[in-house]
Every structure is written in C-alpha cells, then in structure tokens.
C-alpha cells in the first residue's frame, strides 16, 4: 500500500506581509530608509535644477553687463512733419508687421527713439536705417548718462542698416559673433530702449533662421526670435550668451503694436559686410544677375517638366544682363546659386545681393526636367533702375481664342516701342478677356503682353495659336505674361476639355 502525501495550503500571511509586520514591530526602519532616500533624491534634483537656473541667470547677467557700455539710446529730431518723417524712415510693411518705434506726434518736429551699438572705439555705431533715415538731429545717450551728437555715415535701406559716427571718446566697442554658426533654439538677449526705457534687457531663443520673403526689406535673411522686442528696440543688438552681437533688431510682427513673440533681426554676417562697405566707401555694392523670378507650386513645376523640384521660376531675362550672357532662359527653374539652395525669390535675391560684383557664381537650374549648370559673372546692382510699363496701343484685333476666353492682337516692333514695351520684334498683347473664361480665372487682363505659352516664345498671334494647339485639351497651360514691365507665369486651366488624369 502506497503512502499518500497530501499538501495543505494554510492561510498564513505571505512573506511580504511578515516582513512588513516585523518592520512595523521594530519601528519601520525599511520604510523610513525608503522615504529618506526619496527625500534625498528630490533635494538633489532641486539643487541641480537651481544650479542650472543660476548658471543660466549668470550667463544672462554677464552678457547684459558686458554689452551695456556699448549700447546707446538714439534720440532723433526731424524738422519735417511726422508723417513725412515716418514715410522716409520706414519701408512699406505687410499687414501685421511694424518697425518697433514709438508713435510720433502729428504736428511740429518729429521725434523718435531707437537703439544703436558701438562697433569701434573710433566712434562708429550701427543701428537700423529706419531709426535715423530723414533725421536732422541725432543724439546718443550712453549707459553712464553721457550724451553726444552723431552724424550719418551711410544708409542701406535694402537691409535696414545704418552707420553713424560720433566724436565722443572713451568708447567701448562690442564684438561681433558668427551668425552663420547660430542654431535654432539657442538662447539670446536683446538690449534696447523699448518705449524709451533705456538699457532694457529681454531674453528668449532663436525661433528660426534665414527668414526671407517677409516683405520688410529688399534683401532679407532674418533671424527670428521670441525675445521681447518693442517700440524703441530697433537698431539694438541681439546677442548670444557670450555677449557677442549676432544680429541687429529690425522689426516685429504685431497686431497691437507691442511684442507678440515674433521679432526679426539682421544677422551679424550681413551687418558686418554692410557696415564695412559703408565705412570704406559710403555705399554698398551688390551683385546683379538680371532676371525676374517668381515662386512656383507643384502644379506649375509639373507643367514645366520639373516635377519634385524645389526652386524659383525665371520669368524675365534682362537684355544684355549677366543672366543672358550665362545662357539662362525664361522658364528655367533655379535650384541653387553659389552652392546655396534656393527655394524662394527672397533667398535668391539675398544670395545674389550678398555676392561681390564681378564675381563668378555657379547657377544650377532645371530646364525641361534636366539639370543645367551655368556660370554667371555678376554685374553691380543699380537700385535706381526703373521699369517701363506696357501701355495700350492701337492695332487690328485678332480673332478671339474663344476656348480660353481671351482675344489677342499683334503690335509691330515700332508700335511696341512707342507703347513702352521692351521688344526687339513684334509682340502680342491681350485685347479683351471674357469675364467668366479660363483666362480671366488665371488673372490675365486686357493690355497684358503675352511673352510665352507652354515652351514656345510668342511674337505673333500664329505663335500663340500653335502653342495652345500643341497642348492637349484639359491640360493646364503655362503662359508668361508681362504687365507694367513685370513678367509672371500664370496657369490657364482649360476646364472645357477632358480632365487631366495621371497614374
């Protein structure tokens, strides 16, 4: 007979419960140790956090203290009435943007306040162009209370930078930092006289770099920051935590006139180049390529055979320009200049403008879907160029292109020149546009000059008709239109034809 062993499970407390009971019986040393350890960890974390905060605070203080002797408040007086003063001193701004200067009285001399920074011991000071443009008197106020007069050495509205000169001695110059090495997210400080409050310091981070096409100046390559910039900060330094100038504050995006967390500063790399040129020659020489460009969306690029490209579309080539000599053509999509990628018209303008006249730049472009590399020798940009507008002139009308909703007519070269249209041959102009037609929806107007349709240049009505006939019905038709001396590609969407389908 086999022995049977039966195991019985008792309801005794588990091991954890026994240990806990024992711990309680002897004064809970285990729990007390755990709580003590947690308190120690919290204390260490708090100490570490305070240490890091104090380190950052010390960095802010050091940057502000180091820059303070170099930052000056600028008070200006203009004998002209305030509205005229502001028109001369401030560029036209897009909605929601403004130059951070206080409101001026409407009668009598216009008075303004801004900020500047000393960049050399012999009296040169950098500020924003709109702070001092049109000023008849300029007074500097230093952080130690001294005041001095200053004169304008040179202005550069294209970047909103100006250079002043004072005879005051004992100046302390600030140092420039390298804005090209700046990274988004880095801490920065802004020093200025917002609302006339001298030597005010605000802190923030670099929100973005390379902001162009903002509409504030001709040559835009802004540092964007959330450091508070208010009226009176214009022309003051944006500095890194080493106390080096990495930008000059220029404008703010604001609906109410105060800081909304978006400010723009001209990078120090641009400021140094402009200031050096003004000090040396009293002016800034810039590169000139001689083209007109426009942004291009994916549909426009696809219609030109440049799918998946990122660049700007050439819509005009100046006669006798470096662009013409290099072989650039209307319809090219420029993707890079001088090794720098180009995604917007503003980036292209800034890149060309920063180049030295006479220098050779490598231009990469897409033409019919294939990459073309060209070398262009830049001329010097002339800011006083004026565009000639296209005016209406009499000529016999052509039959209407009813499918697209517009009629064309031809002008001889002599008539075109008389009408102010640049041409070395006959041209085709839009005679009328149907209100509800495809041409009207594309933005075409009577009087527009038709320079190109699809990939074909247009000099006669026959050219236009054959170019349109070569494009299948239902396909969007790219057309190069000139208006008031400015050229631009538009897409005429022929909705009356079969739909454009792609696999």
Q: Which helix or strand (DSSP H or E) is residue 60 part of? A: helix 29-67
Q: Which helix or strand (DSSP H or E) is residue 366 part of? A: strand 360-367
Strands 370-377 and 340-341: unpaired
Marked catalytic residue, from 160, 448, 463, 494:
160
SS3 state of residue 231:
coil
Q: Report the distance separating Cα 318 and Cα 324, nearest Å.
A: 7
Nearest to 74 by CA among 155, 134, 131: 131
Marked catalytic residue, from 78, 207, 212, 234:
234
Q: Which helix or strand (DSSP H or E) is residue 269 part of? A: helix 268-281
SS3 state of residue 193:
coil
Token pair belonging to 232: 């009176």
Q: φ and ψ at 413, to 5 degrees?
A: -60, -40
Query: CA 350, 353, 357: angle at the middle one, nearest 5?
Result: 155
Nearest to 354 by CA among 343, 338, 374: 338
Q: Report the distance separating Cα 183 and Cα 415, nearest Å.
A: 56
Query: CA 350, 356, 357: angle at the middle one, nearest 5?
Result: 105
Marked catalytic residue, from 70, 78, 130, 254:
130
Specify whether 130 is catalytic. yes
Specify whether 8 is catalytic. no
Name the CA radius of gyration of the chain, rounded.
Answer: 33
| Crossing angle for the helix pair 15-25 and 29-67, to the nearest 10 degrees | 80
Q: Report the distance separating Cα 74 and Cα 190, nearest Å.
A: 16
SS3 state of residue 206:
strand
Identify the bridge partners of residue 396 per DSSP, sorted by sequence position.
none
Q: Report the distance separating Cα 102 and Cα 233, nearest Å.
A: 10
Specify whether 160 is catalytic. yes
Token pair belonging to 48: 């570490």
DSSP-assigned letter for residue 396:
P
Strand ranges (DSSP E) for 378-502? 379-380, 397-401, 406-411, 427-433, 449-453, 456-457, 476-483, 486-493
Give the catalytic positions in this structure.
Answer: 130, 160, 234
């Amino acid at each position: 007979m086999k022995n049977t062993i039966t195991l019985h499970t008792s309801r005794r407390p588990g091991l954890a419960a026994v240990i806990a009971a024992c711990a309680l019986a002897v004064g809970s040393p285990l729990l007390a140790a755990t709580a003590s350890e947690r308190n120690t960890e919290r204390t260490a974390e708090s100490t570490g956090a305070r240490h890091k905060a104090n380190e950052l605070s010390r960095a802010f203080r050091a940057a502000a203290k180091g820059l303070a002797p170099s930052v000056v408040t600028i008070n200006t007086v203009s004998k002209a009435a305030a509205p005229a003063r502001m028109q001369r001193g401030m560029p036209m701004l897009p909605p929601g943007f403004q130059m951070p200067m206080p409101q001026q009285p409407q009668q009598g001399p216009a008075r303004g306040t801004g900020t500047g920074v000393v960049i050399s011991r012999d009296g040169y000071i950098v500020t924003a162009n709109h702070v001092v443009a049109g000023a008849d008197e300029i007074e500097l106020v230093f952080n130690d209370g001294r005041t001095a007069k200053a004169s304008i050495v040179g202005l550069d509205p294209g970047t909103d930078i100006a250079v002043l000169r004072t005879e005051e001695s004992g100046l302390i110059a600030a140092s420039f930092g390298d804005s090209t090495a700046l990274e988004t997210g880095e801490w920065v400080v802004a020093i200025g006289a917002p609302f006339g409050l001298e030597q005010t310091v605000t802190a923030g981070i670099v929100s973005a770099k390379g902001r162009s096409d903002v509409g504030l100046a001709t040559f835009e390559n802004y540092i964007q920051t959330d450091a508070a910039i208010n009226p009176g900060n214009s022309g003051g330094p944006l500095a890194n935590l080493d106390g080096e100038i990495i930008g000059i504050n220029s404008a703010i995006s604001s609906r109410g006139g105060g800081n909304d967390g978006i400010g723009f500063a001209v990078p120090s790399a641009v400021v140094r180049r402009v200031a050096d040129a003004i000090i040396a020659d009293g002016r800034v020489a810039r590169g000139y390529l001689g083209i007109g460009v426009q942004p291009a969306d994916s549909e426009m690029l696809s219609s030109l055979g440049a799918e998946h490209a990122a660049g700007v579309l050439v819509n005009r080539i100046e006669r006798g320009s470096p662009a013409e000599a290099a072989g650039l053509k209307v319809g090219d999509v420029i993707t890079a200049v001088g090794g720098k990628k180009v995604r917007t018209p503003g980036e292209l303008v800034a890149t060309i403008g920063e180049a030295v006249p006479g220098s050779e730049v490598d231009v990469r472009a897409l033409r019919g879907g294939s990459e073309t590399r060209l070398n262009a020798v830049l001329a010097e940009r002339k800011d006083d160029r004026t565009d000639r507008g296209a005016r209406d002139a009499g000529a016999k009308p052509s039959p209407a292109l009813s499918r697209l909703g517009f009629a064309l007519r031809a002008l001889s070269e002599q008539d075109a020149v008389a009408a102010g249209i640049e041409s070395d041959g006959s041209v085709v102009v839009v005679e009328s546009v149907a209100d509800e037609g495809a041409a009207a929806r594309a933005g075409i107007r009577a009087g527009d000059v038709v320079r190109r349709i699809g990939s074909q240049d247009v000099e006669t009505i026959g050219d236009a008709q054959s170019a349109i006939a070569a494009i299948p019905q239902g396909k969007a038709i790219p057309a190069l239109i000139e208006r008031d001396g400015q050229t631009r590609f538009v897409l005429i969407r022929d909705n009356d034809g079969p739909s454009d389908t792609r696999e």
